[in-house]
Structure 1
């Protein structure tokens, strides 16, 4: 089978950036859940599996642990076996953001390339992760990967820096963004999230002066001509925004540590603004949008130029040949 991409399916972000790899090299993607939904929406040839996780909910918060013995309690054995069987027929596995994929690929003795923007606990499908197990997991499995690639700007421009472990060798390859042909428009904002609470707030505040992902499906062709991108703080949405020199306005779920860290770093770098979703109101959104106009335009232009001269797929190609 050659090379297979195993993409975490808890949202569109992982598989959206993996599509760029699949298109360049002709690799197939294996995914589930929202990842599979995205592949169908984009008409991609992919391998769909059922969600491999059993999800335990306590107080409306999803708990996924990441140490192997604990992880087994949350994984469906039949799906895990199907993934492992597929990996046995593969030479190289590119794992994007999945602790399960990393475990199974390294356990199969396969050459494994990990793509991750949060390796502080390998969040997977949950918002709440048992950190004590995560550290054991990282020590045991992450260092077995042949390469750990961060699809973000190199320091000091890195947005996901607060989510990275310092003792693991990392290669910053730049944003894995799909450079779509841009469509002209005169809207001030792009709304990349499908979160209904955020979308409704934007509709009340800016109305039809925005292009909504919920209306157009693929939002990427609309970045160039907008003034700011309203998103939920996911890494892929932020990378897309900054790659066009546009400030992300992040409405962030405060229980999602990865996104909280993204927002904090954007504000530290003076290229983005955030609102705690629990405090989202029409007034707070108006203030955030106004504040976005005061951000560091020279630095935003630097992000755009850096993205234009960076080729993460070239870096991946060199690693595959190595």
Structure 2
């Protein structure tokens, strides 16, 4: 079966879960092609997949730690990116896939349907209009347009894929809102991650160990530095912090002996398996990875980013971790770290989530769904 996977490149969470689908499909003998752009395309190519350049779809605009979705939509229209539909249609005409899987890349979905190709749409949010609520009349109008667009898209796709645990364990559940007819085509795969717990060999790290993926660039730098300050308050806990390629570790001054700074790691799963805690923003894919490995989380969602805020709220509500913000002190961060590392009730809950992820086997569930269409 020939499958085309389109990936939204705004955030590598979309990329990582699509790579897991591609790997599973290829291992079963299917012909898989990717449509991607930017660093997402480079990463997919490095994994050895057939990859095609596609136009970027969304221009993200924001400052001071918050995303301005209204300005992002306007900037996207001004760049004329939706004219890329013509390019995508030509790509589909050349490759003639049996099925299109589009991870939040709506040009791919619209182009597929315009050519009569079945399409599965992957999303972990269906209520983007939440970004605009309470922000003035113009924002309210944009919110209604966004909601109508989403409703129409969900109506025409063949399946709506949620890469999360099934209800009531769904982490993104506060971000999901569908009409009754759409719910009938919703499918929860379970976490779609690049490696399973059993496939991963843990790094040799000093325990207890904290993996921090917040990054030290831009508006996230203050919380990054606070984690370093928290580390200095208790040298019995060890840390690996990912600073990002734009940050020179030397600029951070003298580091505590229990802190290691890395700019980037190509494969974070060995670190995750060797860690007792993950500190990360509120991105959905990182949450799925941590939970699949049975690791509790401290989440630092971006300001005014409703999706991340909702995800982080569920993590705390379900007893899987703690939610903090940019005003949290180093002392409070350390208090939460100690709690999550040493409290047995968190360990027990996270073990349940890891075992559930193993049973669900998201990539396999997605492959079986794809093959079910072939057998029709």
What does residue 286 of structure 1 align with? 334
Cα offsets for 1:133-192 (capped at 9, x unmatched): 222112212121111111111122110000111422221110001225222323411123
Structure 2 CA distance for partners of 1:149 and 1:296, relative to 1, 3 Å: same
Structure 2 CA distance for partners of 1:299 and 1:204, relative to 1, 3 Å: same
What does residue 190 of structure 1 align with? 211
Q: Is the 8 A contact 1:252 1:259 kept in 2?
A: yes
Q: What's the TM-score once normalised by structure 2's chain length?
A: 0.74
What does residue 294 of structure 2 align with? 245
What does residue 275 of structure 2 align with? 226
2:44 is equivalent to residue 39 of structure 1? yes
2:355 is equivalent to residue 305 of structure 1? yes
Larger radius of gyration: 2
Spell out the pairing of 1:129-208 with structure 2 (5 A cutoff): 130-167=142-179, 168-169=182-183, 170-179=186-195, 180-187=199-206, 188-196=209-217, 197=221, 198-206=223-231
> RMSD of the TM alignment (CA)?
3.2
What does residue 85 of structure 2 align with? 80
Aligned length: 317
Cα offsets for 1:110-137 (capped at 9, x unmatched): 20011111122299xxxx9843122211
| Residue aligned with 1:174, SS | coil
| Cα shift at 1:312 | 1.9
Structure 2 CA distance for partners of 1:83 and 1:304, relative to 1, 3 Å: same
Q: Is the 8 A contact 2:171 2:314 kept in 1?
A: yes
Take 2:203 and 2:129, find their aligned partners in 1: how far apart are those partners? Answer: 38
| Cα shift at 1:42 | 4.9
| Residue aligned with 1:276, SS | coil
What does residue 315 of structure 2 align with? 266
Q: Is the 8 A contact 1:113 1:148 kept in 2?
A: yes
Q: Is the 8 A contact 2:299 2:322 kept in 1?
A: yes
What does residue 8 of structure 1 align with? 8
Moved over 6 A (4+): 56-60
| Cα shift at 1:274 | 1.1
Structure 2 CA distance for partners of 1:147 and 1:77, relative to 1, 3 Å: closer
| Cα shift at 1:287 | 2.9
| Residue aligned with 1:4, SS | strand
Runs of 5+ consecutive residues of structure 1 not aligned to the other structure: none
Q: What's the TM-score once normalised by structure 1's chain length?
A: 0.86
